[in-house]
Each structure stands twice: as structure tokens, then as C-alpha cells.
Amino acid sequence: MKKLIHLFAALAMVFSIPLAAQEEAPQREPGHYNNNRFKQLYEEFSTPNTYRSASGAPGPDYYQQRADYKMDITLDDKNARIYGEETITYTNNSPDNLEFLWVQLDQNVRAKDSKSPLRNGSGVNLAYTAGNFAQSFMGEPFDGGFNIEWVKDSRGNLPYTINQTMMRVDLATPLLSGQSYSFSIKWWYNIPDHTVNRARSGYEYFAEDGNRAYVIAQFFPRMAVYSDVEGWQNHQFWGSGEFALPFGDYEVNITVPEDHVLDATGELQNRKQVFSKEMMKRYEQAKKSYDTPVMIVTQEEAEAAEKGFAEKTKTWKFIARNVRDYGFATSRKFIWDMMAVKIGNRDVMAVSLYPKEGNPLWEEWSTRAVASTLKSYSKYTFDYPYHKAISVHAKNQGMEYPMICWNYGRPNKDGTYSDRTKFGMMSVIIHEVGHNFFPMIVNSDERQWGWMDEGLDTFMQYLAEQEFGEAYPAAIEGLDKYPSRRGAPSAIVPYMAGDQSYIAPIMSNPENVYQLGPNAYAKPATALNILRETVMGRELFDHAFKTYAQRWMFKHPTPEDFFRTMEDASAVDLDWFWRSWFYTTDYVDIGVGEVKSYYVSNEPTPEMKEYMAANGLTEADLPPLVYLADLNAEDVDPNLTAAAPSETSTTLKEFMMDNMTEAERSKVKEPKYFYEISFEKPGGIPMPLIVEYTYEDGSSETVTYPPEIWRKNDAEVKRVISSDKKLTGIVVDPKAETADIDTANNSWPKKEEGSEFDALKAQIKG
């Protein structure tokens, strides 16, 4: 019995045995919590309930509120002012009775007394230029913000309280569960110049022709979200965190000067009233044009209209069903083109609105980019359910609303434009049109979780950009693929490797982070790309992603719903991935350390001899054993290497003679080379260990060890490989798929890496 136990132990210890050294009285280590990186996210995730299931799908009691709007809006072009009157019908589908309603007044961020500019720190400058001083201390603040004339319901005036960008309307009797309630508001506000402080809506003034181009949104008091997760939203609109909005139907009538060209969220109800006969003809043409945009208003017509300054007005009437917001763009400067695109078995119109300053770039590419984006996103999620998608040209803007978005991309006055401008414009159009899917339809809470729409949209944008480049090679003239700026794992390395005091986990509120771009856009997009390409594979990922999109279209998902659904639909445990990529600021750094070579031997190794001595064993006590001995030990006969194991170990030869037929013996492949390779993980994030082994004969093979390899060996793990060819090189993550922040430790033998400064210097000279 004793011998058997020793035998088992001996067989297990073929490699170097770490001897337990005798230490002095050890300090007792304190106990610890479960810190394993593969721990499930039970503590971080909210508890599943009947509103939101553990599977990540909406639960049997899932509810959402509804807000319908009937609005009459007048735009005063001369004074850049909007007057509005609306009736809101709010339906309480929650199980709770509501004593008051919260209404969002986002324009108040521009009010004179807005606290928004006060939320950032500032210091006294060493010195001021006269202009700076005047602006800092003497300027008149813009008189923005909503002027509420009245709030009333069928019985009369309603008491209301304004807290900056939120207004509480107190109800005479609580709004019971299941009931609807209507009330009306009348207001006006001064439209801001959006080019001054990058407000998300407003006008741009063109001094040359004296006209304004308006991109109008956040223009009406609108309902806040009441949900099972937050109750009423209680986060102000400070400027960085965006919007949480309920779904509903909108009936909107917009009155503008009669020479304005206008498009908006929703289906135009009175086209014959607002279109000329010529425009109607062109519109019918556009509906059947699937390859080329048709001009509804040409550049000549727009340039002529610029001189109009009509006094009379026209009213455009729209109805939009099941949307979460409303936006419109209007100007007498606008050129208008449209094209049809097939989505599923329906036709959707791709539309662009732009002043002449957008040409020649806009007439060439805007509508085509819209159409391509709708097709790409629909493929990965669901068929775009609305009837149109509009791209509006606006200086320095990139902002999204249901069916309509604002995009930058302006050529130089002489019509020339750089690649930077061209690709910038195409990318922003793809990104903003993509937002129709996230968050306009998969309606996440942007104020709490910026990444849920920005990260997901940026990830999809990368895929859509690549497909746009393939569909329109002329757009990427000369390049072999679209030059996407985000998506490739190596691009996120600098952010993740950077100074920890300037980075925050993705699961942070957008108001509170420094580098919001990488935090909410690039890092989650890159993480999803890595999940798709490297961790799950495209088939599993695409199916799970589509499941998420379809479970939550026209609903309000939370981060957990996304995280759970991705696992639910794929049977891939991803808690370790969400934890490291989304909940921490950890980074990836995996490398190869020591590589030890071995040969097969009859003779007990030094470590084995020590073990035997320590346990009072002699060779006679043990059965015949095969040893792998260190090739780099002293006195090792080099001829022992590169010989077949059966030649150097009689024990093995005897075994083979006794247990294999001659035929089997002649076919057996005996590895001659044995290596113990140490892989290290100085970075926190566990990732699949992708290793490319290269051999003496020039051949190579790539082995991917699953991320679970790190589950019990967080800092270092060893693997043994045997081969009939000599190993000459090892590279971890050869295709740069894991966003490894330090590739200096990724190669064996180690690669000498020069200084980045000298590398750049050489690149400039050369």
C-alpha cells in the first residue's frame, strides 16, 4: 500500500519539485473574501425579480409608462424664438399610485441662472487678456431656458415647482395604477446659437446670407421616466449625462416661414399642402430610387430661397408612433434629397438636409451613408421599424433623435476637403443614424449609463463602417478598408494603460468621468469587439446580441439585462469578462516567462533523488519510472536530446514492447522535445491565452487556451508541450486581439524593443 502511494506521488512529480523550505515561524496571513476573478457577479448585479428576469429578459410583471404629446409649435425666425403649447397624456402602467409627475425642462441648462457652468472647478488665471476678462466677468449671459406661461388640466391651473431642469407637477388626486391623465403646458424660449457652446440644439447663423439653419430638439417640456429601477428619475441635466425618456405617440404641428424646408420625426400628414407640385413629383421618384438619391430641393433652388425672408408662414403636420423623443430641422437654406432603401420587406426612406456649405461632400455621401447604416444595423438587431431616417448637416454637431440626427462635416469654402473631414462626416452619420437602434428603440437610461447606448452604438458603428467601405469602394478610394478609428483592440491600449487617476470603470455615471470618450464609447465598443472576435466567436456573439436587441426593443433595459442576456443566449459564462472590463479599470498584460527544456531519461532527476532521500526510498522500492530531466542541467549529454524517448528510456521501450504490437510501434509518433512554459499575467484582466508556437522547420501553430486557465493561477500558469520538432519561438497574442498594454513580455526569445521616441523619429525621417 505504502509503495502504491509513493508510486502515485512519484508519477505526479516528473518535473522539478518545489521543495518546502523550512521557514522561521511564519506570520499568519489574515483570511480573505472570495477574490477570484471568475467569481459570479451576484453581489454587483441587482437581484432578479418579476420585472426583470434572471435570464436578462423582461419579466412577467415588466411595465413601462407611456407619454403621448399633442403639440403646436411656432418658430419665430426673426427673433430666434420658439413658442409652444402641448397636451401631454401620461399613462401610469406601474402598480404604484403617483402623487406628482416630473417633467424635464432641459433648455434650463442654458438659463441665465443655470447651475450647469458652476459644476466644474475653475481657478484665477495668472493674467487675463481684455477679451477673456470681459467674457469671464462682464459678459451678459444668454437668456435661455423655458419661460412657462401656464400649466393646467381640464379643471384649471396646476401647482408646479421647478428645480433647475426638472419640474414637479402636483396632482389634485393621485394618478392611480392603470389610469391616464392629461395636462397642458404653454411656454416659449430663446433658441441658443449652438455653435457657441455646442448645445445639442439651436441655430447656426450664416453671416454671408443673413440666414439661420435650425436644428431643434429638447424644445418642449417632456415627461421624465418612472421605472421599476429608479422610480422617478432624479438626476438633473448637467450637460454630459444625456436622456431617459418614455415611449409614446406624438402629433406635432410646426409653423415656420413659408419658404423654409423642414423635416422632422414622424410621418408628414399634409405633404400636398407644404410641397409644390414639382416637389411632389420628385418625391414620388425618390420613393422608387434605390441606388441614387433624388433631389427634392436642389442647390440652385436653395440658394435662391436664401434671399426670400418670407413673412407668411406654413404649418407642417407630423404624426410619430412609438418614439421616445422629437426633433426637427428647418431653414430656407436647406437642400433636400431622398432615396429608398429595402429593409426586410419594407421600403424606408433615407433623407438628407444640408445647406450649400455642406457640398460637394453631402450630396455625394450623406444619404448613401444613412441607407448603408440602416441595412447594417438591421442585420445585427432587428429591421428598422420606422419609415425614414434623416441626416441633417449642422456645424460641430453629432446628436441623435428618433428618425433624425445632426452631423458635422463641412468642406472648405472652395469645396475641397481633407480625408479627415470626409471620414469624420461618414463616421458621424453612421454613428448618429445607428443611435436610432440604441437608445431610441432599445431605450436605455442614458443619464445613468452612457455606455449602454454609446458603447453599443460605437461597436455597431465599427461593423457598419467596414460594410460601408465594402459597399462603396469609391468612398474609401485607395484604401483597402474603411479607416475605422475605434474597434481594433490595440487602439484602446493607451487609454487603459494610462494614469489611473484619470480613468474610471465603464460602469460609472457619465457626469463623473474624465475621459468620457474612451470611457463610454471606445472601451465598451472595443470590449464587445473582443468578445465577438476572440472570446465568444461571431456566431455565438451575434445570436446573443440580436436576442438582446429583440428582447428590449421599445422597452427600457438596464446593464444587467444586457449582461445576463449575452450569457443566457450563448451558454458562455461571461461574469469574469463583465467584471474585469466593465466594473474595474484593470488592463490586460499577459506574457511568456521562462521556457524550460526537458529530455526523457531513465535516471531519476536530482529533484526525484531528493524526494527519495527525504522519504527513505531507494530505487528498488519504486516501479520503473520515466523521467523528464532538465536539459540545461550540468553534465547533460547533448546527444540525449533530439533522440526518440524510447531510445533514451529503457523503461519506456520495455513498456512499448510489452503493450504495443509491431504495427502500432512503427506508427507511434514519439515527441522528442519537451518544454515547460511559464505564462505570466501581470495585468488584472484574464483573457484567452492565445499562443503561437513556431518550430525549427519554420512551421507554426496557434493554440488558444480558454480564459479559465487563469482561474486558479491568477499570476502565472504553466503548460507542458511536447513536439517532434524543436521549438524556436513563442508569441502570446500574435494578432493583437486582447488589448495587451505591454507587448515587451509577449515573445520568447525576448524581443528587443527600442525607445518609442527613436522609433517615431526614424519614421519621420524615413
Partner 1 sequence: MMKTWILFFITLVPLTSLQSLDHKFYLSVTQMEFDAENNRITAISRVFVDDLEETLRQRYDVQLALGTDREDEMASFYIARYVEQKLIVEMNNESLKFSFAGFTYQNDQIVLLSEFGFIPSDQYKIKVTNALITDAYSEQQNLVHFRMNQKKQSEVLTKERPFFVLAL
Q: Point out which residues bind partner 1 (CB under 8 A).
A: 123-126, 132, 197-200, 239-240, 242, 398-400, 408, 416, 418, 420, 424, 427-428, 431-432, 435, 454, 485-486, 493-495, 497-499, 501-502, 515-518, 521-522, 741-744, 752-761, 763-765
CA distance 509 to 512: 6
Choice between 510 and 559, CB closer to partner 1: 510
Choice between 71 and 741, CB closer to partner 1: 741
- DSSP result, 523-590: HHHHHHHHIIIIIS-HHHHHHHHHHHHHHHTTB---HHHHHHHHHHTT----HHHHIIIII----B--
Determine contact, residues 598/628, Cβ cutoff 8 Å: yes
Shortest separation between residue 136's beta carbon and partner 1, angstroms = 9
CA distance 279 to 243: 36
Q: How many CA atoms lie within 13 A of 154 on its CB side?
A: 3
Looking at the DSSP assignment, which residues form a beta bridge with residue 157?
152
Choice between 372 and 570, CB closer to partner 1: 372
Task: Determine the straight-line distance between the first and last CA of the chain, rounded to whole angstroms.
Answer: 73
Choice between 117 and 473, CB closer to partner 1: 117
Strands 398-401 and 404-407, how do they pair? antiparallel
Determine contact, residues 97/176, Cβ cutoff 8 Å: yes
Choice between 33 and 757, CB closer to partner 1: 757
Q: Could you tell me if residue 322 is left (phi over 0), alpha (psi between -120 and 50 degrees) or otherwise beta?
A: left
Shortest separation between residue 371's beta carbon and partner 1, angstroms = 19
Shortest separation between residue 289's beta carbon and partner 1, angstroms = 29
What is the CA angle 572-575-577, rounded to 5? 85
127 secondary structure, DSSP code = -
Q: Which helix (H) or strand (E) holds 654?
A: helix 650-659
Choice between 375 and 486, CB closer to partner 1: 486
Shortest separation between residue 653's beta carbon and partner 1, angstroms = 48
Choice between 430 and 690, CB closer to partner 1: 430
Shortest separation between residue 490's beta carbon and partner 1, angstroms = 10
Choice between 75 and 428, CB closer to partner 1: 428
118 secondary structure, DSSP code = G
Long-range contacts of 39-48 (CB under 8 A, 24+ apart): 39/575, 39/576, 39/579, 40/575, 41/563, 41/575, 41/578, 41/579, 41/583, 44/579, 44/583, 45/560, 45/563, 45/564, 46/229, 46/558, 46/560
Looking at the DSSP assignment, which residues form a beta bridge with residue 232?
226
Shortest separation between residue 582's beta carbon and partner 1, angstroms = 19
Identify the sign of the CA torsion 171, 177, 179, 183.
positive
Looking at the DSSP assignment, which residues form a beta bridge with residue 680?
591, 716
Shortest separation between residue 372's beta carbon and partner 1, angstroms = 17
Q: How many CA atoms lie within 13 A of 677 on its CB side?
A: 24
Q: Return the C-alpha cell found at 434.
A: 445607428
In 448-522, alpha helices (H): 450-471, 493-497, 516
Shortest separation between residue 669's beta carbon and partner 1, angstroms = 41
Choice between 544 and 741, CB closer to partner 1: 741
Choice between 399 and 535, CB closer to partner 1: 399
Shortest separation between residue 666's beta carbon and partner 1, angstroms = 51
Shortest separation between residue 198's beta carbon and partner 1, angstroms = 6
Shortest separation between residue 132's beta carbon and partner 1, angstroms = 6
User: Which residues, other chains included, contact 240 with Cβ-Cβ below 8 Å and sequence gap of 6+?
Assistant: 450, 510, 511, 516
Choice between 250 and 423, CB closer to partner 1: 423
Choice between 160 and 587, CB closer to partner 1: 587
Choice between 379 and 485, CB closer to partner 1: 485
The residue behind cell 456573439 is: 541
Shortest separation between residue 338's beta carbon and partner 1, angstroms = 24
Shortest separation between residue 124's beta carbon and partner 1, angstroms = 7
Determine contact, residues 183/86, Cβ cutoff 8 Å: no
Determine contact, residues 164/115, Cβ cutoff 8 Å: yes
Choice between 580 and 746, CB closer to partner 1: 746
Shortest separation between residue 114's beta carbon and partner 1, angstroms = 13
